[in-house]
């Protein structure tokens, strides 16, 4: 049994699957498309939502260091991804890489982990999208009932400075320090987050229609948001008050993860999911025109551009306003407000960019999940319905619709804090496995052609795996518990269905 669990998929089978155009996808994506897909997934919630929230709750101005730590880990992991993506150019991302190196059982674990990552990530970002849309509509006097703008059961209070906000321990502490009794403020209990549910439904339908149409939409969104982010950085520099950066690393409150260096590490772990865009690029390998050449460009190019923008925005935002004011749904808009009445013209532009940016993130995440389903189904680990491709649109339409439906439910009922932490731990686990797989495959199959080679092996993969695991360890215990429950459910599915229907069982195990 154990030898069968760790049987690997042959490189010949993988390359045969990659060249299958009769039952597979259209190869329409260029290096530019792949790079903008990566930027589309990376630049979004990290800048427009989580930068402010993580600064306010965990790291203060040192959120910049958190982004550097996460960016460094992603750089190491990205180099490993680039080697795999050029060598195994098919859909499935880390799942496929693990199948080729670590065996079927560990491939299932990473595939199931990626399902957690993408489903919850799309839902997470849609909640941030809803926050900016609500704020944008409010500027024009259009008000969605507050009960339908947040996760089910969330208690919201109305603050004079920023409007409605979810009650958190950090919020209560800040209000108490100002002499405000939270019980005296207007309260509302939320029913559903309708704006978040709406955007997931619209983008799911777009993805069913076709990958090229989706990529074109994403290109427009990426140009819009990057242009406005550069404008915000350029204009915001003039409004930085150095005093807002002091202390740069706020003193720890006495609780691990709340400011101090432990807060910097927790902040890095929480915001890490904002970097998963290059993982999403690797899921589109089977739709790239020249994957061996273009996949490394798309992965490393999008990661480099996005990391620089993250660091600059974090510096400017925490320099314009105190980090204590940024625990809101639209922190960049708060920064614009602080620039003074003369800059109010920038407020709607920033919100439009945020809406466009978050739309492209949701799109890419919703695109990645069905392609992982597709690969797992083609391998027999999931039912055949998940690998059905639409005869006209050439997209995995059934799994796209299923992914969208589940993401809609999650977006409507769960708060962004729980969603974000689950995505981060799932992403970090995927990166650890990919980094270690590079070392294993170099030893097992040194003769394989590698159009792109990760430099300084095993140092780079080891550093990537270690930094990612340290960030995993910094996440709350409740997040680890949710991950273990999710994995237990995955084990049940694998041992009751996957192991009995595996295509590898039918063709015979191999390590070649």
Cβ atoms 118, 424 nearer than 8 A:
no
215: tokens are 């990529």
Q: Give the contacts of 458 (CB within 8 A, at least 6 positions apart).
A: 438, 439, 442
Lowest-pLDDT range of 213-217, 255-259, 297-301, 490-494: 213-217
Q: What is the CATH number of the domain that holds 431?
A: 1.20.1740.10
497-498-503-505 Cα dihedral, nearest 10 degrees: -90
In the three-class reduction of DSSP (H, G, I as helix; E, B as strand; rest coil), residue 164 is classed as strand
Inside any domain, residue 205 = yes
Please tell me what DSSP assigns to residue 153.
T
Domains in the chain: how many in total?
1
Inside any domain, residue 325 = no
State residue 166 phi and psi, 5-degree precision. Answer: -70, 140
Task: Summarize pLDDT for 239-262 with one digit per residue, the tens.
Answer: 999 999 999 999 998 888 889 999
477: tokens are 């215990």
Task: Summarize pLDDT for 91-117 with one digit per residue, the tens.
Answer: 556 787 788 777 899 889 888 988 887
* Distance, CA of 21 to CA of 3 (rounded, Å): 32
* Distance, CA of 374 to CA of 368 (rounded, Å): 10
Inside any domain, residue 177 = no
Instruction: State the pLDDT at residue 506.
Output: 63
SS (HEC) of 334-369: HHHHHCCHHHCCHHHHHHHHHHHHHHHHHHHHHHHH
Inside any domain, residue 326 = no
Instruction: State the pLDDT at residue 511.
Output: 43
419: tokens are 């969603």
27: tokens are 């190869």
- Of residues 184 and 490, which shows the higher confidence score? 490
Global confidence as pTM? 0.76
187 has which bridge partners? 157
512: tokens are 């070649």
Average pLDDT, the chain: 83
Residue labelled with tokens 């049987």: 7
Range of the domain at 42: 2-150+194-243+260-320+332-507
H/E element, 188:
strand 187-189
Rounded mean pLDDT, 350-358: 85
Inside any domain, residue 175 = no
- Of residues 60 and 51, which shows the higher confidence score? 60
Burial class (CB in 10 A: 0-12, 13-18, 19+), 156: buried
Task: Summarize pLDDT for 328-338 with one digit per residue, the tens.
Answer: 767 888 888 88
* Distance, CA of 112 to CA of 7 (rounded, Å): 18
Burial class (CB in 10 A: 0-12, 13-18, 19+), 16: exposed
* Distance, CA of 378 to CA of 150 (rounded, Å): 38
* Distance, CA of 463 to CA of 468 (rounded, Å): 8
164 has which bridge partners? 158
Task: Summarize pLDDT for 166-192 with one digit per residue, the tens.
Answer: 776 667 777 777 788 887 788 888 788
Concatenate the DSSP letters of all residues of 72-85 into one string: HHHHHHHHHHHHHH
The answer, yes or no, to whether residue 281 has pLDDT greater than 70, is yes
């Amino acid at each position: 049994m154990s030898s069968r669990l760790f049987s690997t998929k042959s490189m010949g089978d993988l390359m045969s699957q990659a060249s299958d155009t009769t039952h597979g996808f259209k190869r329409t994506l260029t290096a530019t498309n792949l790079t903008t897909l990566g930027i589309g997934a990376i630049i979004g919630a990290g800048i427009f939502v989580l930068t402010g929230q993580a600064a306010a709750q965990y790291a203060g101005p040192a959120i910049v260091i958190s982004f550097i730590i996460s960016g460094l880990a992603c750089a190491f992991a990205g180099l490993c991804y680039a080697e795999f993506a050029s060598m195994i150019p098919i859909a499935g991302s880390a799942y496929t890489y693990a199948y080729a190196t670590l065996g079927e059982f560990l491939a299932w674990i990473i595939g199931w982990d990626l399902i957690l990552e993408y489903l919850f990530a799309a839902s997470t970002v849609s909640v941030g999208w809803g926050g900016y849309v609500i704020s944008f509509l409010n500027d024009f006097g259009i008000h969605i009932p507050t009960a339908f703008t947040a996760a089910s059961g969330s208690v919201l209070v109305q603050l004079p400075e920023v409007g409605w906000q979810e009650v958190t321990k950090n919020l209560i502490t800040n209000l108490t320090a100002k002499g405000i009794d939270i019980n005296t403020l207007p309260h509302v209990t939320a029913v559903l987050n309708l704006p978040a549910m709406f955007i997931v439904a619209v983008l799911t339908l777009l993805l069913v229609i076709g990958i090229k149409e989706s990529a074109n939409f994403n290109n427009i969104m990426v140009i819009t948001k990057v242009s406005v982010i550069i404008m915000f950085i350029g204009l915001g520099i003039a409004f930085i008050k150095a005093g807002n950066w002091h202390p740069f690393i706020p003193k720890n409150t006495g609780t691990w993860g709340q400011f101090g260096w432990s807060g910097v590490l927790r902040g890095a772990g929480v915001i890490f999911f904002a970097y998963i865009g290059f993982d999403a690029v690797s899921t589109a390998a089977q739709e790239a025109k020249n994957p061996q050449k273009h996949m490394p460009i798309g992965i490393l190019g999008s990661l480099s551009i996005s990391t620089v923008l993250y660091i600059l925005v974090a510096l400017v935002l925490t320099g314009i306003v105190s980090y204590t004011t940024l625990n809101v749904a639209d922190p960049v808009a708060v920064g614009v407000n602080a620039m003074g009445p003369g800059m109010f013209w920038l407020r709607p532009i920033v919100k439009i960019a945020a809406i466009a940016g978050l739309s492209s993130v949701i799109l890419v995440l919703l695109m990645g999940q069905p392609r992982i389903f597709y690969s797992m189904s083609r391998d027999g680990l999931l039912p055949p319905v998940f690998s059905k491709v639409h005869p006209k649109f050439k997209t995995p339409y059934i799994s796209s619709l299923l992914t969208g439906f589940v993401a809609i439910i999650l977006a409507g009922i769960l708060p962004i804090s729980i969603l974000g932490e689950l995505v981060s731990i799932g992403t970090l686990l995927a990166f650890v496995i990919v980094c270690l797989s590079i070392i294993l495959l170099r030893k097992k199959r040194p003769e394989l052609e590698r159009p792109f080679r990760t430099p300084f092996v095993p140092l780079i993969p080891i550093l990537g795996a270690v930094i990612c695991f340290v960030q995993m360890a910094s996440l709350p215990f409740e997040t680890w518990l949710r991950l273990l429950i999710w994995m237990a459910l995955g084990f049940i599915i694998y041992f009751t269905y996957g192991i009995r229907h595996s295509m590898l069982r039918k063709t015979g195990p191999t390590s070649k």
